[in-house]
Amino acid sequence: MPQLTQDDTSGAPAPRLDVDTIRRQFPILDQEVKGKPLVYLDNAASSQKPLCVIDAIGDYYRNDHANVHRGVHTLSERATDAYEGARARCREFLGAAGTSEIIFTRGTTESINLVAASFGETFVKSGDTILVTEMEHHSNIVPWQLLCRRSGAELAVAPMNDNGELDLDAFDRQLDKRPVLVALGHVSNALGTVNPVAELVRRAHDAGAKVLIDGAQAVPHLGVDVKALDCDFYAFSGHKMYGPTGIGVLYGRESLLDAMNPWQGGGEMIREVTFEHTEFNVLPHKFEAGTPNVSGAVGLAAAIGFMRDVGVRNIAGHESALLRHASARAAERDWFRVVGHAAAKAGVLSFTIDGAHPNDIGMMLDADGFAVRAGHHCAMPVMQRYGLPATVRASLAVYNTRDEIDRLFASIDKVRDLLC
């Protein structure tokens, strides 16, 4: 069952959602694929978009588009208000202390690369250690490898157990190396494991490390409060939480962001430029060089509004019930192997079928109208940990239904009969 923040743990059961009404807000779901009704179960890769997000982006381009911050005319002022209003909504959504701690990026990958480049240049030196976990997405591995190559630092890895849970004793042993930074995922995209991030942050801080959390898979499913987590950086993407592609957020502790060098140079991130000297802008603009993705920010604000209206706790409860149902259906089949049995999971059923390749399963499910993901899920070390080339991943969102889960397993039964 997903872990929830303190705001989501009243003890009362989550109200039953009117999923039919919610589904009508997602026009893309009302279609057939290869003659079959679409069942979209690839939400960990990217979620679909409600009308409020689509309309907000369209309304912005129809009525308010201009470049932000650098104009005194009405459209520029409207665009600036919309952009900075979106930043304020993100601050509230994450529980950050101020908007100066909210940096807009293209997504989680860019956010992590920003920290690797800027924090790395400012604070990481030869002989230092950076600690990641075995269940990370490539986006939370490769930037640190590149930083280690540049700086002479060492990359250490905390392993997980067979259930797909972080080995906490091994994590503590890695902390004995006194890493300068710990980078870990809040929720595993390949397994659905929900890490006990507040406790991991506490342990890392006790060891003297700063902490970055990859929240790409957590924000769509769980309430997140960065002050309660006490993390130093938190990154997420809009497109996984019902928002548009090409927009994301990096939360950073203000004192750290102030001390870090800019990542990219150009317009907006400066206050004064001469050929002899450049004075950088204040936070958060210091890290937002060039014309930003204003429409993306507007769409992200609308997506946050959608999640608030439905209720993050309600979304988590609905998806948790679906995951329990899917897990029960899986347990009925002795040839169906679930990969990842963590006690705390959110929204992911990763699996294989004895005698069938995941790519073949995925293509045959597509022929029956099901959108699932087959592959290594940008988590090759996870696949290597289980001795697998790939898995099939069905991942959930608020618009999925119990009937869709039942139809998925009926289709899986047909696929197994044909392939095995």
Beta bridge partners of 130: 155, 181
CA distance 284 to 306: 25
| Cβ–Cβ under 8 Å, residues 122 and 259 | yes
| Cβ–Cβ under 8 Å, residues 391 and 380 | no
SS3 of residue 356 by DSSP: strand
Written as six digits, the tokens of 30 are: 């009302």
Consecutive H or E run containing 185:
strand 181-185
Residue type, position 180, single letter: V
The alpha carbon torsion through 314, 315, 316, 320 (nearest 10 deg) reads 100
* Of 349, 369, 370, 374, the residue nearest 359 (C-alpha): 374
Written as six digits, the tokens of 257 are: 């962001």
SS3 of residue 248 by DSSP: strand
The alpha carbon torsion through 21, 246, 136, 188 (nearest 10 deg) reads 0
- Looking at 52, 231, 378, 420, which residue is catalytic? 378
* Of 11, 148, 67, 87, the residue nearest 284 (C-alpha): 87
378 is catalytic: yes
Beta bridge partners of 39: 370
CA distance 43 to 332: 25
Any alpha helices (H) in 27-73, and if so which ranges?
51-59
Residue matched to tokens 């609905």: 318
Written as six digits, the tokens of 191 are: 């397994």
- The catalytic site residues sit at 378
